[in-house]
Chains A and B, each alone.
Chain A
Amino acid sequence: MTELPSALSVKNHQVMSGQDLLMPDRESQAVFKVNAKRRRIKERMFTTAILSATIAALLMLLYLVTSITMDGASSLSWDFVSNFPSRFAAKAGIKSAIFGSIWLGSMTLFFAVFFGVGAAVYLQELAGKHRINSIIELSISTLAGVPSIIYGMLGLAVFVRFMALGRSVLAGALTMSLLVMPIIIIASREALKSVPDSIRMAAFALGASRWQTVRDHVLPAAVPGIATGVILAMARAMGEAAPLIILGALTYVAFVPTSIFDGFTALPIQIYNWTSRPQQAFHDLAAAGIIVLLFFLLICNSAAIYIRSKWGAKK
């Protein structure tokens, strides 16, 4: 070990002489030319541009909410929420649509999360780099862009007729699950991808299997991102009318579903139904229905923020 001190001194010597090589003189500064004024102007222009984009989006939302509120606020009452629909505008309520949407929403949540997150975990964590997997990936991205009405036709053919589920809330939920599954898969895969590999390696080095690693470390770390995707997907499912209309969801329902095989209606369908009536009173009811729907979406998004902050704080 006698060489050690000399090893150190050689290194130090090289560093000292290296400094001279790196900075022979300070003239090189002349190469930098900063037009500070122009840079500031550009900075301000950019800030203004993106700020106005934000404000424009907010203004549109504000316009929507105020015009809806002005039309619908007068019809909004406890009776409106607790009554079944009626052909008399004054007696018509939205109870069956609210319950239909809750049934539809919670069942869609169940199916879509189970299959969507499952598929994402398989594709991201377990599947190798086979050709077939890249074909599956491409198909999923494509499915995310298919118009919702096509899913309605698929649901009608497969769930309502072939599987003979009828025009039930179950058939509706399965159709909606198909519709939102690509969104959940894509969001979940992104969330899984952002979990650092070092966590997986730590688990594997302890003799863990892939499934143990995913179950106990990767999935929990990805929950905030997955939840965000799920909630966005649920908001989409709550707001969709087209596939349900194709599927044959009922437009006049004077009962609340009591089983998954019951017929149902949903908020967007009820709203659509009212807006297509000629009388002004029904248009106001539709506006009130939209307020109720927005309220549901608000709850969805608050849940997303809550889950994200709760899981984020754990780390």
Chain B
Amino acid sequence: MSFGSPILETRNLNIYYGQKKVVRNVSLKIPKKTVTAMIGPSGCGKSTILRTFNRMNDFIDSFRQEGEVLFEGTDIYRSKTEVTEFRRRVGMVFQKPNPFTSSIAKNITWGPQINGYQGDLDELVETSLRKAALWDEVKDKLGDSGLALSGGQQQRLCIARAIAMDPEVILMDEPCSALDPQSTLAIEDLIHELKKNFSIVIVTHNMQQAARVSEYTAFMYNGDLIEFDSTSKIFSQPEEKLTRDYIVGRFG
């Protein structure tokens, strides 16, 4: 397995919550402009790693990390660059849709505005919503609250909000786990579209989803990265017995 220079990389990453070590010596490379899935049973550390990519773990008091997390070759935990600058370039979509209470348009424009966006905001609203496959559904009610939308629409609004920042990476933390099957399908189709322009890392509990949307899959278990390979290899001929057992549903 080989690809060009990675967009994100962890080197010997250890993560602790207080005394508890939740991620053990993980070295992982995330390729550009494709979809990488992270799978594994609850508590295996996959979401924790995802949240180090945009330093959202900083808000957890007991969080501590060792090793390196590189974004385009820069260690984001040791760089002098403001953390907010990394967060602008590494967008995130959360497990539960969390649109702002303000209008749909404002949901899109707020992030770019506080980051000094110079372009045309109306245009940005339209292109972002189009890229998130939401424009046709909301174009007549851009002034309505983001919370007035259905769960699936809210999640696509959150994706549009992330896209509007023109990030290089979009992190998705179980983006469909709170959604019905139809909305899940819509998001998965969207992910297929988005990977042309963005590098996507998706954490999911749903193995079929990982198989459907991703090119690469990392399997984690109990804080260890067990196996990382192309999705087709992981799901057909995994090297490790543990991976195989998880894929066929013996545990997890």
The chain A residues found within 8 Å of chain B, CB to CB, are: 1-4, 6-8, 10-11, 14, 129, 196, 198-209, 212, 216-217, 220-221, 314-315
Contact = CB atoms under 8 A, between A and B. Distances in A.
Chain B interface main SS type: helix
B56 A3 contact: no
B101 A220 contact: yes
B114 A208 contact: yes
Contact of B250 (A10, A198, A217): A10
A201 B98 contact: yes
Given A11-B249, A212-B114, A204 B87 contact: yes
Interface of B: 54, 56, 59, 61, 84-88, 91-92, 94, 96, 98-102, 110-111, 114-115, 145, 147, 158, 161-162, 165, 207-208, 211, 232, 235-236, 244, 247-250
Nearest to B233: A1
Contact of B84 (A10, A202, A208): A208
B158 A202 contact: yes
Nearest to A220: B101
A151 to B, nearest CB: 36
Nearest to B158: A202
B98 A199 contact: yes
Contact of B100 (A2, A8, A202, A204): A202
A3 B114 contact: no
Chain A interface main SS type: helix
Contacts of B161: 202, 206
B248 A7 contact: yes
Nearest to B100: A217
Contact of B85 (A198, A205, A207): A207
Given A7-B248, A198-B96, A315-B145, A221 B236 contact: no
Given A4-B235, A198-B96, A206 B158 contact: no
Contacts of B145: 314-315
Given A10-B249, A209-B84, A199 B61 contact: no
Contacts of B98: 196, 198-199, 201-202
A1 B235 contact: yes
A314 B101 contact: yes
Nearest to A14: B249
